[in-house]
């Protein structure tokens, strides 16, 4: 729809206020030989409109998805902040990219009228704003670029090296990674908490349905849970509730043919369970559907079978829609066709943030994980016998893949089968007996000379094992009955 030139007084006032600073400090205007270009423009609009300090003019994309507008300079500038001013709220997914090296500096969902994007200082001659997807043709009024004088240029090999909190502890009481953010993930622990022990699925259903929503709940599972002893449910719903843990007792907790779904829930821990052969409900062993936040899936064994059709079972661990702050750690995931899906379609465009660490992925076909949109951190995992594809970064996702071991694997890192590719920040990984096969025609493989295509800076500290120690540590510690929970 054609943008109308009639603007309300508040927008005009905002334009006057920001234009004074923009003309003085905005490198998109004042930088050496500043200019703009892009992938295309709608009739009657101009690339130069994004750098004219005028909210009444704009660049409009010629289509909804896969569009770009850029600011550029005749010689490189130091930049550490971008402010994007969108007219309307059409953008659903975006990336800020250093055109000089292809590094993704930031990514997200909505832009809106004044989106401030801070990043470690880069020296660049061109910055790209990629519109991955939008509900209608995006209109960008201003693409401002600034340099915070307090920033210093980063180490090009590791822009913000995290401060490691100490030695690796496999039986930790609290998670590392994204689940440590937003106050952390404590599940059923806390003041006035309730603990119950169940031996059947019907007892588990009752414990969830009859809980006091004002008190944290820990359910300890000491027995085999089956569809037959679960009172007719097809899955166990942790739904519309917060502060729940389901923890197995020793090696006794087996979910045989029935899984767990976390839906509209926050602060949930799933720990020390064996789950297998789930062909009821959503057909996932553990699945999360948003809105949901602060989920920790730790020290479980989850498996299906490769001796059935690939669609007979679904995922081992998966997530979709608006979920955030998830950590998947110390799990033994094996014998699966479709293993771990995050984002169930190319339109499931939420900014999910998931950490995978110290997991053992063995004899699995694909989706290790398959990751659409958002940011992932995959570190200190041991992969063995990947039969088709491993980590599949899609639809603009940025994944930091760090100090992992890949053995006997086909295509361990790829971007396949989506309308837009994803990216990886690869560091310190080990590859042994690897087959790289370049398919499909629009897909991208990371090897054989694996190099990063993006940079992902992390908002948390974590303990990182040297790559040479990963395999032995994961084999000794991943799975059930490894800790006294």
- pLDDT over 50 at 13, yes or no: no
pLDDT-based confidence at 6, cuts 50/70/90? very low
Calculate mean pLDDT across residues 458-464: 96
pLDDT tens string 67-94 = 999 999 988 899 988 989 999 889 988 8
Q: Which residues contact 291 (CB under 8 A, 6 or more apart)?
A: 264, 321, 322, 323
Report which DSSP code applies to 421.
B
Provide the pLDDT confidence category of residue 7 given band limits of 50, 70 and 90: very low
Structure tokens at 192: 């006035």
Q: How far apart are CA 178 and CA 162, in angstroms?
A: 13
- Comparing 15-19, 21-25, 56-60, 121-125, the range with the smallest average pLDDT is 15-19
User: Which DSSP string corresponds to 266-318?
Assistant: EEEEEES-EEE---STTS-SEEEESSEEEEEEES-EEE--SSS-TTTS--SEE
Q: In what order do the strands lie in the sheet with 323-329?
A: 194-198, 217-221, 242-248, 266-271, 292-298, 323-329, 353-357, 375-379, 398-402, 423-427
CA distance linking residue 119 with residue 256, whole number of Å: 47
Task: Using alpha carbons, list the distances in angstroms from residue 468 to 141, 295, 302, 428, 439.
Answer: 50, 29, 26, 10, 31
- Confidence class for position 170, pLDDT limits 50, 70, 90: very high
* Tens-digit pLDDT profile for residues 332-368: 999 999 999 999 999 999 999 999 999 999 999 999 9
Which of 148-152, 235-239, 427-431, 434-438 is predicted with the least confidence, judged by mean pLDDT? 148-152
The Cα 129–Cα 69 span in angstroms is: 5
**Residue of 51, 352, 367, 372 marked catalytic:** 367
Alpha helix positions (H), 336-431: none
Task: Please give the share of the chain, as a percent, with pLDDT higher than 90.
Answer: 72
Residue 372 appears among annotated catalytic residues: no
Mean pLDDT of the chain: 89
Q: Per-residue pLDDT for 165 more than 80?
A: no
Q: Is residue 68 a contact partner of residue 98, using CB atoms and an 8 Å limit?
A: no
> What mean pLDDT do residues 152-165 have?
39
Q: Is the pLDDT of residue 378 over 80?
A: yes
Q: What is the mean pLDDT of residues 239-253?
A: 98
CB 337 within 8 A of CB 366: yes
Confidence of residue 17 (pLDDT cuts 50, 70, 90): very low
For the chain, the farthest-separated pair of C-alpha atoms sits apart, in whole angstroms, at 73
**Local confidence band at 148 (pLDDT 50, 70, 90 cut-offs):** low
Q: 66 falls in which pLDDT band (50, 70, 90)?
A: confident
For residues 125-147, give the mean pLDDT: 91
Least confident range from 117-126, 153-162, 387-396, 428-437: namely 153-162
3-state secondary structure 162-175: CCCCCCCCCCCCCC
3-class DSSP state for residue 448? coil
Q: Which pLDDT does position 435 carry in this prediction?
A: 98
* pLDDT tens for each residue of 472-483: 999 999 999 999
* Token pair listed for 80: 């550490």
| pLDDT at 256 > cutoff 80 | yes
Q: What pLDDT does residue 342 have? A: 98
Other CB atoms within 10 A of residue 273 CB: 25
Q: Is residue 373 within 8 Å of 397, Cβ to Cβ?
A: yes
């Amino acid at each position: 729809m054609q943008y109308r030139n009639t603007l309300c007084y508040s927008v005009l006032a905002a334009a006057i206020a920001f234009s004074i600073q923009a003309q003085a400090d905005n490198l998109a205007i004042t930088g050496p030989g500043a200019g703009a270009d892009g992938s295309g423009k709608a009739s009657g609009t101009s690339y130069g409109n994004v750098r004219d300090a005028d909210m009444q003019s704009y660049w409009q994309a010629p289509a909804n998805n896969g569009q770009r507008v850029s600011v550029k300079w005749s010689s490189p500038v130091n930049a550490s902040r971008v402010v994007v001013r969108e007219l309307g709220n059409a953008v659903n997914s975006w990336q800020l990219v250093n055109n000089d090296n292809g590094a993704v500096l930031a990514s997200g969902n909505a832009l809106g009228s004044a989106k401030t994007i801070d990043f470690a200082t880069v020296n660049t001659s061109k910055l790209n704003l990629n519109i991955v997807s939008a509900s209608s043709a995006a209109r960008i009024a201003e693409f401002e670029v600034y340099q915070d004088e307090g920033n210093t240029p980063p180490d090009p090999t590791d822009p913000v090296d995290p401060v490691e909190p100490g030695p690796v502890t496999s039986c930790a009481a609290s998670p590392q990674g994204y689940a440590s953010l937003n106050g952390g993930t404590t599940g059923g622990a806390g003041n006035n908490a309730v603990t119950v022990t169940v031996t059947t699925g019907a007892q588990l259903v009752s414990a969830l349905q009859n809980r006091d929503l004002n008190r944290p709940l820990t359910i300890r599972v000491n027995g085999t849970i089956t569809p037959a002893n679960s009172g007719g449910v097809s899955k166990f719903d942790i739904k519309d509730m917060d502060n729940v843990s389901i923890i197995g007792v020793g090696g006794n907790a087996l979910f045989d043919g029935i899984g767990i779904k976390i839906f509209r829930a926050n602060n949930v821990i799933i720990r020390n369970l064996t789950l297998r052969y789930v062909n009821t409900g959503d057909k996932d062993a553990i699945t999360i559907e948003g809105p949901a936040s602060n989920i920790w899936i730790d020290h479980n064994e989850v498996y299906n079978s490769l001796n059935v059709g690939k669609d007979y079972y679904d995922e081992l661990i998966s997530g979709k829609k608006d979920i955030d702050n998830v950590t998947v750690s110390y799990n033994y995931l094996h014998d699966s066709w479709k293993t771990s899906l995050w984002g169930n379609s190319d339109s499931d465009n939420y900014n999910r943030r998931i950490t995978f660490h110290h997991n053992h992925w063995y004899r699995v076909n694909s989706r290790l994980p398959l990751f659409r949109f958002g940011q992932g951190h995959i570190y200190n995992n041991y992969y063995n016998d990947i039969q088709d594809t491993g980590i599949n970064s899609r639809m603009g996702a940025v994944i930091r893949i760090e100090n992992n071991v890949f053995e006997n694997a086909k295509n361990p890192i790829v971007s396949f089968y989506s309308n837009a590719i994803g990216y990886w920040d690869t560091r310190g990984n080990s590859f042994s007996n690897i087959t790289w096969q370049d398919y499909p025609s629009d897909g991208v493989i990371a090897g054989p000379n694996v190099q990063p295509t993006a940079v992902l800076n992390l908002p948390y500290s974590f303990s990182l094992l040297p790559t040479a120690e990963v395999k032995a540590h994961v084999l000794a510690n991943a799975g059930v009955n490894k800790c006294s929970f």
